[in-house]
Amino acid sequence: MTLHEIANVVTAAIDERRKARIAEIREKEKVFFDKLKRIGLKDAQIEGVEWLSATYDLGLSCILGDGMGFGKTAQSIFFLFRLRSIGVNGPFLIAVPSNVLASWTQELNDWSSRWLQHIGEYARFNVYT
């Protein structure tokens, strides 16, 4: 078996485990993901949070990579909210280029306020630069 074939087999196995974990998350954490829809996340963004969550739960690393304007910042923020909801309180390190730091901080504050306003739960993060 070539290295490429081995990589394909491993990738397929991981994808199957991730799909199974996403199904479990959707069932067990329905209330959390319903809250995301209520405060305005789009279906594709919720799927991104589910994907990040399943990947984390499987002990794997990942990167969100798509075009600009698809909501990677919001997905990342709500992934952090999800971690808090399952008892993982950080600290969390978010590394971003300095030219987007201000917008990241603003998004974090905006979504935290929206979460508090619509859900009634406190979700504040301290940002250190």
Q: Per residue in 36-90, pLDDT tens?
A: 888 888 998 999 999 999 999 999 888 877 777 778 888 888 898 888 888 888 7
Instruction: Give a yes or no: residue 21 inside a domain.
Output: yes
Kindly report the number of other CB atoms within 10 A of residue 127's CB atom.
Answer: 12
In the numeric block, which tokens belong to residue 104?
Answer: 């990241």
Nearest to 117 by CA among 13, 40, 11: 40
C-alpha distances in Å from residue 69, one per residue of 74, 85, 111? 10, 26, 16
Instruction: Give a yes or no: residue 129 inside a domain.
Output: no
Using CB atoms within 10 A of its CB, is residue 11 exposed (0-12), middle (13-18) or buried (19+)?
Answer: exposed
| Total domain count, the chain | 1
Instruction: Give a yes or no: residue 49 inside a domain.
Output: yes
| Residue ranges making up the domain that contains 70 | 3-119
pLDDT at position 92 over 70? yes
**Structural contact between residues 45 and 76, judged by C-beta atoms closer than 8 angstroms:** no
Instruction: Give a yes or no: residue 59 inside a domain.
Output: yes
Using CB atoms within 10 A of its CB, is residue 104 exposed (0-12), middle (13-18) or buried (19+)?
Answer: middle
Enter the pTM of the model: 0.78
Instruction: Give a yes or no: residue 128 inside a domain.
Output: no
Instruction: Give a yes or no: residue 63 inside a domain.
Output: yes
Instruction: Give a yes or no: residue 124 inside a domain.
Output: no
Cis peptide before 97, with omega less than 30 degrees from 0? no
Instruction: Please write the tens of the pLDDT for every residue from 2-20.
Output: 988 888 888 888 889 989 9
